[in-house]
Amino acid sequence: MSRVRFTVEWAYGLIVSIWAFVDFHKNIKLWLQPVGVYYSVAGLLTNMQTCCKQSNKISTFFGLDPPTLHEYLHLSPLPPIDTEEGYNTLEDSSDEDDT
């Protein structure tokens, strides 16, 4: 159990070291600022940074590879580029000819 507790503390320490404004004792004024929103956004951005770097202290400790940023954000693939028209098409271009 202590192993899990330490990694949670590492995660909090990682977020606070990158985003100093979420250090509650120094900067945040409870009831005057949306503390939960600040911390949630900082956590999301930290996760995105971990995906880009492909490593952090916690993933190394557990021997796991973080997902790619594309996988983490569940991005769908880009639509194909219509080379004749020079732009991405999301819909069938035959509908435009009917007007």
Return the pLDDT at 46.
95
pLDDT on residue 1: 58
In this predicted model, what pLDDT tens digit does every residue of 14-65 receive, in sequence order? 999 999 888 767 667 778 888 889 889 999 999 999 999 999 988 998 899 9
Give me 82's structure tokens. 């219509």
Residue 89: predicted pLDDT: 55
pLDDT in tens, 67-86: 999 899 987 776 666 666 66
Where does 1-88 show beta strands of DSSP type E? 81-82, 87-88
**pLDDT value of position 94:** 53
Q: Looking at residue 76, what DSSP letter applies?
A: P
Which position has the token pair 């949630």?
A: 40
